[in-house]
Amino acid sequence: MSIFCPRVINGNRGDLASRLGILAALEQLGIRDIDVSCRHDTDIASLRLRTLRHGPLVNLVPPPSGLHVLRTARSVIWTGGLDLQDDSSLVKLVHTLIVFSLYRLLRLKIYVLMQGAGPLDSRLGRLLTRHILNRVHTFVVRDSDSFRLLRSLNSRCRLIPGYDGIFVGDLRPEDASPEELQAIDRVCRRRTGGPLIGFNLRLWFHFTSDWIPYQFSRNRYLRRSTEKMAQLQAAAVRYLRLLRREIDAEILLISMYEPGVQPWEDDLGYLRRLKTEFPDDPAIRVVDIPLRMPAFTQFLSRLDLMVGMRLHSALVALRQGVPAINLNYTLKGRGILRDLGLGDCVIDVEQFMARPESALELTCRILDDPAARQRVHEAVGAAVRRNGEVLRQLAEQFPRKA
């Protein structure tokens, strides 16, 4: 009687890190009878768990190996990420509802672990989410804003406050290969006397609450974002110039997607465009080397500061004890960092676009603060303890394998 972990994650380093942390924590608790649906075995590092590949329609139709697992499993764990929101497409909610309904028909208990929710601005989005929750046994919610939102839907689901899955278990930085460590050494080799700062930028302003997922209407969604993304990139160029001029920083432009896996979602194109504004400056470099999650974790630990628009670029850095700034583009970033006690390390993306100097001021304040790393250590420690306590209680309901 096993546990099935079926959520599809294709190259998104943030979701991979959250899942890895959760699975590592469960393994440490003796919960090893888990089948993980993943793109590649390396997605779960050195964990001693069984793996299988995704099926069609985002695993809506499992492959034969997945059908076998579903027939023998007792529980489903749905790990990390953000599926309960209606700002990108209502189809995503419909898909989740169908999948969860199928699991319940098979009498599987569904545990959603360390996931967030929102925005849910439409009446239909809230209704669909309530029906999804009514199929879930227990939902460990990663931040207080999501918790309040889900509680307001009055479902039958048991809701438990927690933190992101990055803040539990072990992201296995020691699993980085010698070749990956050599590549990291080359990328992180210092050329100036200034701080080493990671910077992440993502596509935004393209979402809308629509039936058609943006992946299937890319040109229309890209047109929607063009003007705002141009403003955002101009602000980023201004910020990078300030970093170089004012504090002699070295800047690594970092994508939160594995290279070549999901080009449409990848941040790399926008980061390369930023680099074209600094063609002769070796202190600003694009990082496009393939790194498995343990090596990526090891890589971020070398930074003095991470400045990320994608929330998980900041969270992975924090887990490694590195101070981070989140360029917040939706409700989740500000709430999650506030819950960690690091709410002053957030700048709204609109503020960043209007005045990039505000990001420089915050950057200097953090780098000049001798207690910054201690603050991170205490915040992360509290989150890890809370998540660990929650998982230990849930683990009593899961099957163990010797």
Q: Tens digit of pLDDT for each residue in 244-258?
A: 999 999 999 999 999
| pLDDT of residue 45 exceeding 60 | yes
Mean pLDDT of the chain: 93
74 DSSP 8-state letter: E
Q: What is the mean pLDDT of residues 186-198?
A: 94
Q: Which band of pLDDT confidence, cut at 50, 70 and 90, is reported for residue 365?
A: very high
How would DSSP label each residue in 193-211? SS-EEEEE----S---S-S
The predicted pLDDT at position 209 comes to 60
343 DSSP 8-state letter: G
Task: Report how far residue 263's alpha carbon sits from residue 289's, in angstroms, rounded to the nearest whole number.
Answer: 15
| pLDDT of residue 74 exceeding 90 | yes
- Provide the whole-model pTM: 0.95
pLDDT digits 0-9 by tens, 210-232: 656 666 666 666 777 788 999 99
Pair 270, 202: CB distance under 8 Å: yes
Kindly report which listed range (43-52, 55-64, 212-221, 342-351) carries the lowest average pLDDT score.
212-221
| pLDDT of residue 339 exceeding 60 | yes
The predicted pLDDT at position 90 comes to 86
Please state the length of the chain.
Answer: 402
The predicted pLDDT at position 29 comes to 94
Kindly report which listed range (38-42, 299-303, 328-332, 350-354) carries the lowest average pLDDT score.
328-332
How would DSSP label each residue in 139-182? EEESSHHHHHHHHTT--SSEEEE---GGGSS---GGG--HHHHH
The predicted pLDDT at position 86 comes to 87
Q: What is the mean pLDDT of residues 339-345?
A: 97
Q: Single out the residue of 87, 326, 337 nearest to residue 200, CA to CA.
A: 326
The predicted pLDDT at position 207 comes to 62
Instruction: Give the class (CATH, top level) of 173-368.
Output: alpha beta
The predicted pLDDT at position 210 comes to 62
Q: What is the mean pLDDT of residues 179-192?
A: 95
| pLDDT of residue 26 exceeding 80 | yes
Q: Which band of pLDDT confidence, cut at 50, 70 and 90, is reported for residue 9?
A: very high
| pLDDT of residue 402 exceeding 60 | no
Q: What is the mean pLDDT of residues 168-193?
A: 93
Q: Which band of pLDDT confidence, cut at 50, 70 and 90, is reported for residue 372?
A: very high
Question: 2-170+383-395 has which CATH code?
Answer: 3.40.50.2000
| 34-37 β-sheet, strand order | 50-52, 34-37, 2-5, 73-79, 109-115, 138-141, 158-161
The predicted pLDDT at position 87 comes to 82
In sequence order, what are the beta bridge partners of 348? 328
Q: What is the mean pLDDT of residues 104-116?
A: 97
- Which residues belong to CATH 3.40.50.2000 in the chain? 2-170+383-395, 173-368
> What percentage of the chain has pLDDT greater than the value 70?
94
